[in-house]
Amino acid sequence: MITNLTHAIAKPISRRSLMAAATGLALGLSAFSPAKAADDTIKVGVLHSLSGTMAISETTLKDTVLFMIDQQNKKGGVNGKKLEAVVVDPASNWPLFAEKARELITKDKVAVVFGCWTSVSRKSVLPVFKELNNILFYPVQYEGEESERNVFYTGAAPNQQAIPAVDYLMKDEKVKRWVLAGTDYVYPRTTNKILEAYLKSKGVKQEDIMINYTPFGHSDWQTIVADIKKFGSAGKKTAVVSTINGDANVPFYKELGNQGIKATDIPVVAFSVGEEELAGIDTKPLLGHLAAWNYFQSIKNPENEKFIKEWQAFTKNPKRVTNDPMEATVIGFNMWVKAVEKAKSIEADKVIDALPGIEAKNLTGGTSKMLPNHHITKPVFIGEIKANGQFDVVWKTPALVAGDAWSKELDGSKDLIGDWVGKKCGNFNTKTNKCGGQGS
């Protein structure tokens, strides 16, 4: 809302726009922002929870989009028009996500929406984006098994995070026994299903895999950590692959530390623990545990250093950290800008068609490309947690990895591909050559 007003005021001040701005101020609601602004700005919707449980993660992404818009406007906007953010708060409430998405598209007439974190919120807004034909950029690593025409997935698919991490542990740490620990919801369940199939295809036996699910916000980890300890003392090198979500991580790592399990004995590789999460933890007991991401703040290259500096200046907080979903937001934003410039329009259909093939620099020194399945190519890094809450990269994939919308490890999806360029289909079955098929 603040952005709204500053832009309304920054224009050559005519009496009318001043009054419009004043009305906007008086009403105090972003939904009522001046109607006239629509003509000479492009509206960008931001659909991230600013209150409720998910605010802990999503608030940063809202700030990231505002930062990117601010930067783009300093460069003169897009196609000669300034960008204008419309921020709404779906309050970690899944049905509210759909309502707010509808409000953004129909009332505010946004050209694109950056938003969602959890898969359930994405699933909740999907029908809205399809019905009203708008564009959603989704910036978080997720379980895959989806490719929609209106959604662009700039976070990692399982083959861009989970599988390379397991490969690393298998090759470098010679891990033979696996604990797949996760929170009980769709992302960990699907990821673990994929990992289990993958491990078995690599010759790991059933008795060397332990799968464990815990409820959201689980805080009493004594039994599970003791079980892991026991499972790990069978004489084979053991590792934990953690899809434990959000807040439950802190007590989990604390219990690991207290029960004396060090990273040198049983390393934990996490897919949901990044710089932002570590900022609230005493990192001493975590030293040496691992995380797999497509971006780490500690990665040294000019692109990243410039970004961190400008981000910290923008947020006026010299300690503000950056993380992987932020980078995914940045890549998505830059790709959208390029696609709009290429299509010379903000019309959804034209931008959707322009997006595949668009390339944008990522912050780790490479160039990511939007693929026909609406996923992007990304590098994969394994980082070890350092005492200062940052990660030390110990391994990375030699080249960028293309995101698979449909996992090759699962029987139900290995024949499916998403191709919105040639086949115009999100779940094309390569065996039967038909769109909409589920795999054999």
Partner 1 sequence: MTDLLYRFRAIALAFLLIVATAIPAFAGPFEDAVAKFANDDFSDSDEAVGIIATSGNPQAFAVITALQEGRLSADPDSKKVYLTGTDGKVTDAATGEAVAEVPASAAAVRLNNRLRRNIESALGGLTLMSPDPAKRIASAQSVFKSHETAMLPVIEAALEKETNKSAKQAFTEARAAILLYKEDATEAEKIESIAIIKGRGDQDALALLTSLPADQTVGVARSAASAVTAINSRQTLWSIGQNAWYGLSLGSVLLLAAIGLAITFGVMGVINMAHGEMVMIGAYVTFVVQDVIRTSYPGLFDYSLLMAVPLAFIVAGLLGIVIERTIIRFLYGRPLETLLATWGLSLVLQQAVRTMFGPTNREVGNPSWMSGAFELGQLTITYNRLWILCFTLAVFAILLAMLRYTSIGLEMRAVTQNRRMAASMGIATSRVDALTFGLGSGIAGIAGVALSQIDNVSPNLGQSYIIDSFMVVVFGGVGNLWGTLVGAFSLGIANKFLEPVAGAVLGKIAILVLIILFIQKRPRGLFALKGRAIEA
CA distances from 179 to 44, 141, 401, 418 (A): 42, 21, 25, 31
CB 129 within 8 A of CB 151: yes
Among 234, 313, 399, 421, the residue binding partner 1 under the rule CB under 8 A is 234
Task: Specify the residue, 224 or 376, whose C-beta has the smaller distance to partner 1.
Answer: 224
Among 79, 201, 233, 367, the residue binding partner 1 under the rule CB under 8 A is 233
119-132 helix and 186-201 helix, angle to the nearest 10 degrees: 110
| Minimum distance from residue 264 beta carbon to partner 1 (Å) | 5
Task: Specify the residue, 111 or 240, whose C-beta has the smaller distance to partner 1.
Answer: 240
**Interface with partner 1, residue 257, by CB under 8 A:** yes
Among 107, 130, 171, 424, the residue binding partner 1 under the rule CB under 8 A is 171
| Minimum distance from residue 369 beta carbon to partner 1 (Å) | 24
- State the number of binding residues for partner 1 (CB under 8 A): 53
Among 13, 19, 29, 279, the residue binding partner 1 under the rule CB under 8 A is 279
Task: Specify the residue, 62 or 374, whose C-beta has the smaller distance to partner 1.
Answer: 62
Query: What residues numbered 203-232 form the site for partner 1, per CB under 8 A?
Result: 212-215, 217-220, 222-224, 226-227, 229-230
Task: Specify the residue, 30 or 150, whose C-beta has the smaller distance to partner 1.
Answer: 30
Side-chain-facing half-sphere of 255: CA atoms under 13 Å? 17
Query: What residues numbered 319-378 form the site for partner 1, per CB under 8 A?
Result: none
Of 99-107, 197-205, 259-267, 331-339, the window that binds partner 1 (rule: CB under 8 A) is: 259-267
**Interface with partner 1, residue 264, by CB under 8 A:** yes
3-state secondary structure 310-376: HHHHHCCCCCCCCCHHHHHHHHHHHHHHHHHHHHCCCCHHHHHHHCCCCEEECCCCCEEEECCCCEE
Of 110-118, 125-133, 245-253, 366-374, the window that binds partner 1 (rule: CB under 8 A) is: 245-253
Q: Report how far residue 393's alpha carbon sits from residue 209's, in angstroms, rounded to the nearest whole number.
A: 27
**Interface with partner 1, residue 164, by CB under 8 A:** no
**Interface with partner 1, residue 397, by CB under 8 A:** no
Task: Specify the residue, 235 or 302, whose C-beta has the smaller distance to partner 1.
Answer: 235
Q: Report how far residue 268's alpha carbon sits from residue 226's, in angstroms, rounded to the nearest whole number.
A: 14
Of 257-265, 347-355, 405-413, 432-440, the window that binds partner 1 (rule: CB under 8 A) is: 257-265
**Interface with partner 1, residue 267, by CB under 8 A:** yes
| Minimum distance from residue 62 beta carbon to partner 1 (Å) | 11
Task: Specify the residue, 7 or 289, whose C-beta has the smaller distance to partner 1.
Answer: 289
3-state secondary structure the chain: CHHHHHHHHHCCCCHHHHHHHHHHHHHCCHHHCCCCHHHHEEEEEEECCCCCCCHHHHHHHHHHHHHHHHHHHHCCCECCEEEEEEEECCCCCHHHHHHHHHHHHHHCCCCEEEECCCHHHHHHHHHHHHHHCCCEEECCCCCCCCCCCCEEECCCCHHHCHHHHHHHHHHHCCCCEEEEEEECCHHHHHHHHHHHHHHHHCCCCHHHEEEEEECCCCCCCHHHHHHHHHHCCCCCCEEEEEECCHHHHHHHHHHHHHCCCCCCCCCEEECCCCHHHHCCCCCHHHCCCEEEECCCCCCCCHHHHHHHHHHHHHCCCCCCCCCHHHHHHHHHHHHHHHHHHHHCCCCHHHHHHHCCCCEEECCCCCEEEECCCCEEEECCEEEEECCCCCEEEEEECCCCEECCCCCCCCCCCCCEEEECCCCCEEEEECCCCEECCCCC
Query: What residues numbered 70-129 form the site for partner 1, per CB under 8 A?
Result: none
Of 202-210, 280-288, 399-407, 418-426, the window that binds partner 1 (rule: CB under 8 A) is: 280-288
Among 55, 186, 197, 402, the residue binding partner 1 under the rule CB under 8 A is 55
Among 65, 126, 263, 355, the residue binding partner 1 under the rule CB under 8 A is 263
| Minimum distance from residue 332 beta carbon to partner 1 (Å) | 22
**Interface with partner 1, residue 2, by CB under 8 A:** no
Among 12, 28, 80, 260, the residue binding partner 1 under the rule CB under 8 A is 260
**Interface with partner 1, residue 235, by CB under 8 A:** yes
**Interface with partner 1, residue 280, by CB under 8 A:** yes
**Interface with partner 1, residue 180, by CB under 8 A:** no
**Interface with partner 1, residue 255, by CB under 8 A:** yes
Residues contributing to the site for partner 1 (CB under 8 A): 50-51, 53, 55-56, 59, 171-173, 184, 212-215, 217-220, 222-224, 226-227, 229-230, 233-236, 247, 250-251, 254-255, 257-260, 263-264, 267, 276-277, 279-282, 288, 290, 384, 387, 392, 394
